[in-house]
Amino acid sequence: MSGLKDIYLKGFTFEKYLGIASQDELEKLEELYKNVVVSDEFVNKIKIIDKKVHILASVETWCPFARIFLTTLRKINEIKPIFDLSLITYGRGVSELAGYLKIDEDDFVVPTAVFLDEKFSKLRVFNGFPEKYHKENTLDTIDATRNYLKGKSVNDILEDILMVF
């Protein structure tokens, strides 16, 4: 599926993402980074992973859901660099990525990330937040959403992301 590879190769790095973020957004990212703690259980799971996966993610610096997703990926890669990340904007996500993932424009959110194998074939999609949240309406209260966005549900994000392995 060369289309996903082409989009991936045209994306930008996490460092560029940080470079386009406002000072306020950077402060929120730093606060999240301090608050997100990966449990020993997940550290051990990450350490035994023996392959790398490409991630193509549609994100925006203003989106708190994208910030928690990217912070979680950053923490994982600090434990063991298992993800190669390429980022695109929401606009490019809607115009270029949504069709490949068969997501209607009205349902396309940031972050939407597609996990790709070494041949750039789709392994899994992360659409906004962990899959189980879509089924359970887990973020149906203001407090639940706030806690999620503060990094207090990082184990759920980790569990969802690591299902790719």
- pLDDT tens, position by position, 105-139: 999 999 999 999 999 999 999 999 998 888 877 78
pLDDT of residue 15: 97
Q: What is the pLDDT of residue 1?
A: 45
- Is the pLDDT at 163 greater than 90? The verdict is yes
- Which contacts (CB < 8 Å, 24+ apart) does range 91-99 have? 92/7, 92/58, 93/58, 94/58, 96/7, 97/4, 97/7, 97/56, 97/58
Give me the phi and psi of 139, to 5 degrees please: -100, 40
The predicted pLDDT at position 160 comes to 96
Could you please report the per-residue DSSP string of 89-106? -HHHIIIIIHHHHT--GG
Q: Is the pLDDT of residue 2 over 90?
A: no
User: What is the per-residue pLDDT across 3-54, written as a single tens digit (0 to 9) for each?
Assistant: 999 999 999 999 999 999 999 999 999 999 999 999 999 999 999 999 999 9
pTM for the model stands at 0.93
| Ordered structural domains, the chain, with CATH | 2-164 (3.40.30.10)
Given pLDDT bands bounded at 50, 70 and 90, which one contains residue 158?
Answer: very high
Separation between Cα atoms, residue 122 and residue 84, nearest integer Å: 14
Indicate whether 94 pLDDT > 50.
Answer: yes
**pLDDT tens, 51-64?**
999 999 999 999 99
